[in-house]
Each structure stands twice: as C-alpha cells, then as structure tokens.
Amino acid sequence: MTIELVDGKAGVAHISSEDKAIIHQAKFSKSDVVFDWGDAFKCSMSSSNRATIGTGCASIQGLDWHITSAESVTISNGSQGMKRNDIICAHYHCNSSGDTGDVGIESVELTVLKGTPNATAAADPTIPSGKILSGAVDAYQPLWRIPLDGITVGTPVRLFTPRGALWDSVTQTCQLKFQDTSSFVPVAYGASNTITVKDGLIFVDLSSFRSTVKVGNFTVWLFKAGVKPSRTVNLGCVANLNGATYGKQARWNTDGSVTIIGGVGSSDIVQCFQRIIPVPDGVEFRTPLRID
C-alpha cells in the first residue's frame, strides 16, 4: 500500500525514518540544513590535532539530528611543505547485511574526510553523494573545512549558513543601504531599499538616486541586515535613466549587496521602480550567523 496517514494511529508501529525524511524534504528542503540553535556547531581547535564542535541542530536529507554537548574529532598531522584541506562532516550510516549489529539500524556521527596533500594548492576531498531515500547506507553533511599549511592548522572555515526558525522565514527581508550617499544621492521620500521574499516571489523595492560619479558594474547598495541569497539572483530591469530610452538591470549578490549592471554616469538620475520576480530554482535565503 503506497498511501499512509503517517501521523495517524494505526494500531502498530508504522512511522519510519523514511516517512519522516520524505515529509521533512517536502516541507522544508531537500538540501542539508543547519538550524540556528545552540552554538550552531561552532568549531574551535582545542589543539593542533583536535577540533571541537559545539552544540547544534541540523537535518541531513530530511533526517533530523543534534549535538547536545560538545563533540571532538581528530585532525591528522600535516606534512612539512605540503598543503591540505580536511572536511569535518556529519556521517549518516545505516547498518547493512555486511555490518555487525542489527540490519537497518541508523546512526550519525562526526567524521573527518582527509584531503590529499599538495605542494602548491590544497583542494577539498570529494564528499560522497549517497542519497538516503534511494537506498544509500552512507551520506555526508559537510560542516567545516580545516586548512593545513605544512604542520600548521589554519582557522576553520564554516561550510553552512544557519537557518532561522520557520516562523521567522515566512516573510524574509534583506535591508540594503547605499554604498555612499555622496556618490549616489538618494531622492527625498524614496523607496524602502529592501528585497523581500514571500510565497515563492522576490519583491524588489530600491530607492531612486542621482549619481555624482561615473562607474562601470558597481555595487550601489550594500547589505545592511536580513537574508542573503545562496546564489546570485538576476533581478532584471529595476530602473530607468531619466531622459534616456534604456533601463538598468541589477543582480542580487550572495553577500547581500546589489550591483547595477553597466554602471552609471556622473550626472545620471536613476529612477528605480518596484519589481516582482519568481524565486529561481535552487536558490535559498539565509540569515547570516551573528557573532557577538
């Protein structure tokens, strides 16, 4: 039978991890997710061979897992004159017939995928791409990159952006500010300088301005607060030039800023207008982790 009331009483135990993975992927995302909870898996090097991962909550391909007390993993020694990247991952495993223990028992643990040493440039190791719902018994969620230069361990690099609580994500807003209000003089009573994401749509509301400089492709608006896109989003035509017969296109960058394509002249009056576009496939919106 292929239809099931997953959360209903059936008289027997019937809710499987597969059920929950399917529903979580459908509700939230097929992507791996780290939530903004606890220490959000903060990573610190307690020694040159030991990385400590703080508390946090996440989902790997729809299966929820968490760390409620700091965990540590071992980083292998580097080699003199060689560079290397190691990746700390969450490793999902399901016991198969070749394992010891009961078949089908699932678990998650932290593991380190060791990179290949190179004399000139380090590269990340390949992350195995097993799909749990397709029957893979192993899956990996990358969390941190640990760079090594010779025997020196560098600063850990975060490979995820914590996602806020669901009720904070119904309407997601990016607040922008002008890069320089003397170079780009905003009009009086201008727009809100926001990009809002809601119901699968992106609402662009940029304020008009007068340019006092001549620049090419230029980041006129900088990120101030809110969310950033996981990939660059082409916003299309967002403005007209006063007295000209052509408009200006823009792109929303992964650092949250907005770039005018083609630039502006030293006396241009850029008349922005509201624009609504669909969210491109595969683009997600995340709130940067605040470090106090």
Segment (H or E) for 93: strand 83-94
The string of DSSP codes covering 215-261 is: BSSEEEEEEEEE-EESS-EEEEEEEEETT-S-EEEEEE-TTS-EEET
Alpha-carbon radius of gyration of the chain: 24
Residue with tokens 């900088």: 222
Reported as a pLDDT band with limits 50, 70 and 90, residue 168 is low
Q: Looking at residue 166, what is its pLDDT?
A: 63
* Dihedral in degrees, nearest 10, Cα atoms 147, 153, 157, 162: 130
Mean pLDDT of the 166-188 span: 86
Residue 272, SS3 per DSSP: strand
| pLDDT tens sequence across 70-88 | 999 999 999 999 999 999 9
In angstroms, the CA 220 to CA 263 distance is 9
Residues of the chain with pLDDT > 70, as a percent, come to: 96
In angstroms, the CA 43 to CA 34 distance is 14
Q: Looking at residue 82, what is its pLDDT?
A: 95
Give backbone dihedrals phi and psi of 104, rounded to 5 degrees, phi first: 95, -5
In 3D, which of 67, 35, 257 has the Cα closest to residue 168? 35
Backbone CA torsion sign across 105, 111, 116, 121: positive
Reply yes or no on whether the pLDDT at 152 is more than 80: yes
Q: Looking at residue 283, what is its pLDDT?
A: 87
Mean pLDDT of the 181-195 span: 93
Contacts of 3 (CB under 8 A, 6+ apart): none
In eight-state DSSP terms, residue 115 is: P
Q: Looking at residue 154, what is its pLDDT?
A: 93
Reply yes or no on whether the pLDDT at 290 is more than 80: no
Structure pTM? 0.61
Reply yes or no on whether the pLDDT at 102 is more than 80: yes
